[in-house]
Amino acid sequence: MRTEQVNELKQKNGSTPMIGPYTYDEFFEAARSFHGSPAPGLILGGFMVAEATRHLPEDTIFDAISETSWCLPDAVQMLSLCSTGNGWLKVFNLGIYAVTLYDKYEGAGIRVCVNPSKLEDWPEIKSWFFKLKPKREQDTQRLHQEIRMAGASICSVEKRQIKPDLLKRREKGEIAVCPICGDAYPAPFGAVCRTCQGEGPYISSKINENESMLLRPELKAVPVEQVEGTTALHDMTRIAPGTHKAAEFVKGHNFEAGDICRLQQMGKNRIYIEEGQGPGKDWIHENDAACNFAKLMCGEGLELSGEPHEGKINLKASRDGILLADIDKLTRFNMVADVMVSARKGFSLVKKGSKVAGTRAIPLYLARSFFERALAVLGDTPLFSIKALTPKKVGLLITGTEIFTGLIEDKFEPVVSGKVRNLGSRVIKTVFAPDERDRIKMAVDELKQYGCEIIITTAGLSVDPDDVTRQGLEDAGVKDMLYGAPILPGAMTLLAHTDDVKVLGVPACALYFRTTSLDLLLPRLLAGVGVSRLDLARMADGAFCMECKVCTYPKCPFGK
């Protein structure tokens, strides 16, 4: 650590630096009482919270965000009215040693974060912060001495605006009683409490989901020779390998003497039959469960395929469009024992009448506890929906001096126009521009003035010095540019917008390959579905084209 820096800090803080209303020594002891020990992270956090407070306008009523769950939240609670209990302190465990205090009504805040580049002159802090040596080898006395002298000088301070949804007041809403465990919980959490949805930290004292195959009602089974005059409890499937698979007998079928031989040919020795009121209210028949699940899963553009068969029911498209799925909810639903749903890949193009998903309860009778958990996961928002592709007026910007001057013939226009037309839209204007930033800017302006709602640019997105399409787009005022995508072919794809006009940059590979990133992204734009950097990153799984000699897209794995 530099001597002049230490002297400067001593002169600034005096012999005893302050941490909020405390002297350093007072805060040190208060931290011991509050936290259990005067942890270095808590002492440093005190300096950070005090620094953030100092930069806020006087009399600001603020909330706080801690980006780590270690030590720093306690510093906030020691030096402010914000706590996790009153909801004014929110902990996002991002693993970053940073704290933000912000106006709880307007969201304007100050973020203070440890800056790694400022730790070079503080070797013991650096060693502790980066865990460069085991705790037992740390010089604790020197570490606290450095924190005392450095204070918030090792931090960066910046203004931040909080997302609007975080400014909403926390409310529990209506309180319900969980039908499974009997605990009271906020009703908006679902039909059952979160613990019974599988999110609790405890090993269940009730029936374990791993034992679900043992959780079955007592049903009456009779030999097939005695079925005459009885009623089938469920659909029974006959399978002829490669030629036939369907329900030979459906639930509610009244057996006759002639059915006995058919049952024996199906390999049935005993069958379940209906008997009075069924197994009771703690059990849900597979057909009833499937219908309930499917109705909650169906969103805009979807409908049920009809009545359930063999305990399964499908969802089908009621219009053409792109399939949207809540992947997180899909996963959580399938984590519930004894239920399932499977679907086509999200963002697939689907035709009206085509099947897109299917769900069922796996056993003949589903335990009500699992049924309630599954319903709670589904909640009141649909799992699937189909977003229709809206016809758009598309402008095509073809860049390249060699094309502009007529040195080579353009091949892009028929390729792109054909794909746009196949998706129900049309190219209303095509503009050619040389590899010059100002001409590209002028071309974008011309297409906007012409009324284009989507602009597709071609080529000029590579690493050659002549490739200035991106720079020309920047000059034209495009915003939120995403350049590069984990898609092959199509790695140099570009996404952006200018005002309400979407911009899609297609690399030169689209001239050679029949299927590229254009085929995966254009339907989303036409459906009005936003694409983020995270969305692009997730597309990596399946976005490697096999470059088959005969392209069969979309009947192939690309983009799936």
The pLDDT of residue 32 is: 94
Long-range contacts of 17-21 (CB under 8 A, 24+ apart): 17/148, 17/151, 18/50, 19/43, 19/46, 19/47, 19/50, 19/79, 20/46, 20/49, 20/50, 20/53, 20/79, 21/79
Separation CA 459–CA 511 (nearest Å): 9
Q: From 91, 237, 87, 110, select the one nearest 168 (Cα to Cα).
A: 87
Statement: residue 214 has pLDDT above 80: no
Half-sphere exposure for 443 (CA within 13 Å, toward CB): 28
The pLDDT of residue 5 is: 45
pLDDT band at residue 82 using 50, 70 and 90 as cut-offs: very high
Statement: residue 225 has pLDDT above 90: no
How many percent of the chain have pLDDT more than 90?
59
Q: What is the mean pLDDT of the segment spanning 437-466?
A: 89
pLDDT band at residue 1 using 50, 70 and 90 as cut-offs: very low
The pLDDT of residue 10 is: 45
180 CB neighbour count, 10 Å cutoff: 19
User: H/E element holding 374?
Assistant: helix 368-378
Q: For 466-510, what is each residue's pLDDT tens digit?
A: 688 899 999 999 999 999 999 999 999 999 999 899 999 998 888
pLDDT band at residue 178 using 50, 70 and 90 as cut-offs: confident
Q: From 546, 448, 536, select the one nearest 492 (Cα to Cα).
A: 536
Separation CA 17–CA 9 (nearest Å): 9
Identify which has the larger pLDDT, 233 or 87.
87
Separation CA 541–CA 551 (nearest Å): 20
Amino acid symbol at 218: E
201 CB neighbour count, 10 Å cutoff: 5
Instruction: Outline where DSSP puts E strands in 392-488.
Output: 393-399, 426-433, 454-458, 479-483
Q: What is the DSSP letter of 196?
A: I
The pLDDT of residue 207 is: 47
Q: For 230-248, what is each residue's pLDDT tens digit?
A: 888 777 777 778 777 777 7
Separation CA 518–CA 315 (nearest Å): 28
Note whether 195 and 186 are within 8 A (CB): no
Which residues, including other chains, have CB under 8 Å from residue 246's CB and lie 6 or more apart?
237, 238
Residue 482: alpha-carbon gap to chain centroid: 18
Instruction: Outline where DSSP puts E strands in 227-330.
Output: 236-240, 244-249, 270-272, 283-285, 302-304, 312-317, 321-325
Q: For 311-357, what is each residue's pLDDT tens digit?
A: 899 999 999 999 999 998 898 899 888 999 999 999 999 999 999 99
The pLDDT of residue 494 is: 94
Q: For 183-201, what is each residue's pLDDT tens digit?
A: 898 887 777 788 877 777 8
Identify which has the larger pLDDT, 16 or 484.
484
Instruction: Outline where DSSP puts E strands in 123-200.
Output: 155-161, 175-177, 184-186
The pLDDT of residue 219 is: 76
Separation CA 311–CA 337 (nearest Å): 16
Statement: residue 7 has pLDDT above 50: no
Separation CA 197–CA 496 (nearest Å): 40
Statement: residue 171 has pLDDT above 80: no
Which residues, including other chains, have CB under 8 Å from residue 80's CB and lie 6 or more apart?
49, 53, 62, 64, 88, 101
Q: For 423-450, what is each residue's pLDDT tens digit?
A: 999 999 999 999 899 999 999 999 999 9
Dihedral sign (CA 530, 532, 537, 538): negative
Q: Left, alpha or beta for 71 (phi > 0: left; psi -120 to 50: alpha)?
A: left
Which residues, including other chains, have CB under 8 Å from residue 10's CB and lie 6 or more apart?
149
Statement: residue 213 has pLDDT above 60: no
How many percent of the chain have pLDDT more than 70?
93
Q: From 224, 215, 216, 214, select the one nearest 273 (Cα to Cα).
A: 224
Instruction: Outline where DSSP puts E strands in 207-338.
Output: 221-223, 236-240, 244-249, 270-272, 283-285, 302-304, 312-317, 321-325
Q: For 256-299, what is each residue's pLDDT tens digit?
A: 888 878 888 888 888 877 776 667 788 898 999 999 999 999 99
Statement: residue 117 has pLDDT above 90: yes
The answer to which of 104-118, 169-183, 207-221, 325-339 has the lowest mean pLDDT is: 207-221
pTM of the complete model: 0.69
The pLDDT of residue 203 is: 66
